[in-house]
Structure formats: C-alpha cells, structure tokens
Amino acid sequence: MQSRVALVTGGGTGIGKAASLLLASRGCKVGVNYSRSAKEAEETCAEIRKQGGTAIPLKGNVADDQQVRALVKTCEEQFGGLDILVNNAGTTHFIDHANLDALTDMVWEDIFSVNMRGSFYACRAAMPALKKRHGCIVTVTSVAGLQGSGSSIPYAMSKAALNCMTKSLARAFAPEVRVNAVAPGPVLTRWLAPHPHMVEAAMGQTPMKRAATPDDIASAIVFLSLDNSLITGQVLVVDGGRTM
C-alpha cells in the first residue's frame, strides 16, 4: 500500500505543527508549508524525520494562487501524489467588535486574502490531485464563524465563509473527495498568548473548563482525514462544549 501524502498549510507552528507530526506518525509523507516561519517549519520536518517519517518544508504564501499551485506540484513531484490537504494557515487582527472604524480596507484584505481566498486557492489547486486518489480536505475554521465571536468581525466572517465553503465543496466533489472542517474554540498557541483575558472569559462559558491544545485539534483533523471514509460536509466543533 502506498503511503498517503499530506500538505499542511501553516504547518510549522501551533495546530499545523501538531497536525503534521500526528499525520506523519500515522505513516503520511508531509509537506509542511510556511510563509514566514522557516525555522519552525524546518524544525517540524526534522522532528518528523527523527521519528522515522518523511517531511519537507515548503515555502509559499497561500494568498498567492501561483505559489499555492507550486506547493501542490512539489508534493506531487516529490511524493507521487496528494491525499490530504489541511487548510490551516490563517491570520487575524485583534479588534474590539464595537470599533467599526478600525476595520479598514487593509484589515479586510489581510484577513480575507489568507483565511478565505488562501484556503480556496489551496482547495482549487489540490482538487485534481485529490480526485485521482480519492483524497480529502480538512479546513481549520473556528467557532467564531458559528457565533460571530472571536478576535475581530472580519475574522469571524472569514471563518463563517470557510464553513460554507466546506459544505459547497463537499457537495460538488463527492464521492471522489471528502471535505470537512474542524472549528476550534480558544487554542493555546502563540496567537492567544498576549490575550489571556479572552481565554479566561471563554472558559467561564465552557463546560470542560479548559482551552484546547494544538494536539486536541490535530487529533480531530486526523480523525476526519484517516479514520472515517463516510463523513463529509461537516464542521466538527472542538471547544469543550461551549457552543452546545
């Protein structure tokens, strides 16, 4: 049986790193994409190789369609194909939701170019390769896209759009390609480190009384990727019960 091949955008840090490591531990060859975190991506690949796996760092800005197509092409050339796309790359601006004047065109463009268009570009670029091997897509969205909460209004809107895109692509490309999303609540990554008050406020409304770790989200990504062949078009919430 041939090894599965995974491309993880934003794969060198946080959730992306945890997903890359876990996919590799399950026998996948992994393309670890990064835009600015070259050191972290190489360290992630080195850790995978140390554990006997196969991984390569792949530089590329997901907001650039041609760079995304090059990422997929490299995976096909280096590994022989593509089975799993994990859309994890993302960005945000922390802006109070009542401060509408702070939502400049630059803020909208910055968030939507990466979160929305970047994820779409990756899906479009990967789809022909995924169809060949009956692969799957898992996009990391957010409960912000279900509740209108989160770091800023544009961030929540971008994630809501990804939840919708997940369902649209799942309908369009079944049965060859499954498309799902994982929607975390607060995750303990470097993003939220400067904003502990946001985590504390969320935990007051969370039955499990703790924020997610990157490993919590990675296990959901791998479940949807490798452990079920029927689930598609779903947004799996992983937030300790906050959005019940």
34 is an active site residue: no
In the predicted model, is pLDDT for residue 235 greater than 70?
yes
Q: Sorting pLDDT into bands at 50, 70 and 90, what band is 118?
A: very high
Q: Which of 34, 120, 155, 173 is catalytic?
A: 155
Residue pLDDT, tens place only, 128-166: 999 999 999 999 999 999 999 999 999 999 999 999 999
Residue pLDDT, tens place only, 16-60: 999 999 999 999 999 999 999 999 999 999 999 999 999 999 999
Residue 190 pLDDT: 74
Closest CA to 111 of 132, 97, 94, 86: 94
In the predicted model, is pLDDT for residue 182 greater than 90?
yes
Report residue 57 as tokens.
Answer: 């760092």
Q: Please, which residues have CB within 8 angstroms of residue 93's CB and are 6 or more apart in sequence? A: 107, 110, 111, 151, 152, 154, 155
Q: What's the DSSP call for residue 13?
A: S
In angstroms, rounded to a whole number, what is the distance separating the alpha carbons of residues 35 and 28?
A: 22
Domains observed in the chain? 5-186+214-237 (3.40.50.720)
Helix and strand numbers, DSSP H then E, in the chain: 9, 7
Query: Three-state SS across 40-75?
Result: HHHHHHHHHHHCCCCEEEEECCCCCHHHHHHHHHHH
pTM, two decimals, is: 0.95
Show the CA angle centred on residue 120, arms to residues 116 and 123, nearest 5°: 145
